[in-house]
Amino acid sequence: MTNNNHQGRRIRDWHHYNKALVSRGSLTLWVEQHALDAWRDSSPSTRRGRRRTYTDLAISCALTLRELYQLPLRSTQGLVSSLLRLLGTQLPAPHYSTLSRRAMRLEINLPRINKGPLHLAIDSTGVKVYGEGEWKVRLHKAERRRTWRKLHLAIDHATQEVVSLSMTDKDVLDRVEVARLLKAVEGEVREVLGDGAYDFEVCHRAIHQRGARAVIPPKKGASLRKAPHFKERNEAVERAREVGKEQWKKEAGYHRRSLVETAMMRIKRLFSDRLKAREWSRQETELRLRCAMLNRMTALGMGQARVV
């Protein structure tokens, strides 16, 4: 959220919130018994070549620890190996080359608490791939090799869980990814909140096709449009003319959209603002792992604010 939204608010359940924050660092949260039980891959092989030793669950468990503690692949192998020994198991740790190879095709599901109708907020942010550090950039300006990926998020602003995400090149416009984000969302979508960068026909059409209400501020001087998917936009244009855009935002609940910015800030502060992998599919795996971990942390408990 912006600083203005934080003014006059205080956490009112610190005891519960502190317990949730402590639990985030518990190894038993990230390495559960069912992961150890399903560590070895005993399923029939469906591909040519040597049979797999580790299940996808084992690989995702190891890579989750890597993202959580921001480790190189070799150090991840060492951490998992020592952890398995401490747990008293005879299970082997995946080799770092295995972790790197399996990360290319690993499917990561986003755990969710809310199974009911969704109220989504969407936005995007940049994630650094490679380039010089901030200090050198400040001294010597930006480097040509400085490269970014763009992370597009859709969160349920009622629970602050990440519902869907996509990764694109830094030059892809936000509005291009709306249909893809919504297609990946399972269940009913009641409304979609986005900033002015989403006030385009392709966005309104994609939201309308999901049967959802679009809460997007119209551009300055916007006119009414005839297509059915512009219904909410036309209402916003007319209401903004009557009472002003700021009042319309309050009435429409538009400021809940800032929660997606809060989610992006949490991802960067908890897991870093850069990607370690250089290959595209591995980068996507990194981002999905981070969002899955964020959802698990959110499920432990969030601070409930009160106005003072």
Distances in Å between the Cα of 178 and the Cα atoms of 108, 149, 202, 281 are: 21, 17, 8, 20
Quick one: pLDDT at residue 93?
Answer: 96
39: exposed, middle or buried (Cβ count in 10 Å: 0-12, 13-18, 19+) = buried
User: Nearest-CA neighbor of 279 among 166, 149, 143, 151?
Assistant: 149
Q: Is the pLDDT of residue 47 over 80?
A: no
6 has a pLDDT exceeding 50: no
Between 115 and 267, the more confident residue is 267
Q: How far apart are CA 299 and CA 301, in angstroms?
A: 5
pLDDT at 144 (0 to 100): 56
pLDDT of 308 above 50: no
Give pTM, 2 decimals.
Answer: 0.87
Q: What percent of the chain stands above pLDDT 70?
A: 87
Any idea where the domains of the chain sit in the sequence?
23-107, 118-265
Q: Does domain 118-265 have CATH number 3.30.70?
A: no
